[in-house]
Amino acid sequence: EVQLVESGGGLVKPGGSLRLSCAASGFTFSSYSMNWVRQAPGKGLEWVSSISSSSSYIYYADSVKGRFTISRDNAKNSLYLQMNSLRAEDTAVYYCARASRDGYSYFDYWGQGTLVTVSS
Amino acid sequence: DIQMTQSPSSLSASVGDRVTITCRASQSISIYLNWYQQKPGKAPKLLIYAASSLQSGVPSRFSGSGSGTDFTLTISSLQPDDFATYYCQQYNSYSWTFGQGTKVEIK
């Protein structure tokens, strides 16, 4: 069974940093691109970042470019999101999501999410 | 960036109703359009991918259609478990965008 479990969320002050983790199991993690998607309270979904299976290709939404860094450790079946210079508008539930391998780039499995709150 | 416009933003319907949600892209995206269902406090769940392909395990009352800029999600006979928020999602040039969501409520 595919499982994605996020951790690392919490309360942080504006300008602070936080590192999110996503532990994957039930599939060959090293074969899949992975993504972070966030959802502000009461709002819709926003794609944040994507990383290819071997970390060769990395993409970010404009809203986080230069502040967030996505990475992965295939030996540990883990995905990460380093978030720096956090702003109030980064407050959201952050989901990790697996991307399909068939070229249509949909997200077929999602974690349960971890809440990040940026507030003084 | 490609913008996705969903309509309506909310609707009220009864069990057994046929429900249609539309999604329009600001430019052609071929069939790179997916649909997700989200219930309160839960992660999104993939329903339809590549505009019209039903994800494994999803009931056949869900269907998708369209290509280019105009897409539709149809629930043929609304069931109690279907009351949720639905999002379309496009993929283009290593960027993904979601529609603003359609909340389906009980009439």
Residues A42-65: tens digit of each pLDDT: 999 999 999 999 999 999 999 999
Contacts of B95 in chain A (CB under 8 A): 47, 59, 61
- The answer, yes or no, to whether residue B106 has pLDDT greater than 90, is no
pLDDT of residue B40: 96
- Per DSSP, which regions of A1-120 are E strands? 3-7, 10-12, 18-25, 34-39, 45-51, 58-60, 68-73, 78-83, 92-99, 107-110, 114-118
Pair B87, B44: CB distance under 8 Å: yes
Is B2 near chain A, with CB under 8 Å?
Answer: no
pLDDT of residue A102: 87
Is B95 near chain A, with CB under 8 Å?
Answer: yes
pLDDT of residue A33: 97
Which residues does A contribute to its contact with B (CB < 8 Å)? 35, 37, 44-47, 50, 57, 59, 61-62, 95, 100, 104-108, 110-113
pLDDT of residue B93: 87
Instruction: Give dist(CA A43, CA A87) in Å, integer.
Output: 17
pLDDT tens-digit profile of A79-101? 999 999 999 999 999 999 999 99
- Report the residue of chain A nearest B103, measured CA to CA: A44
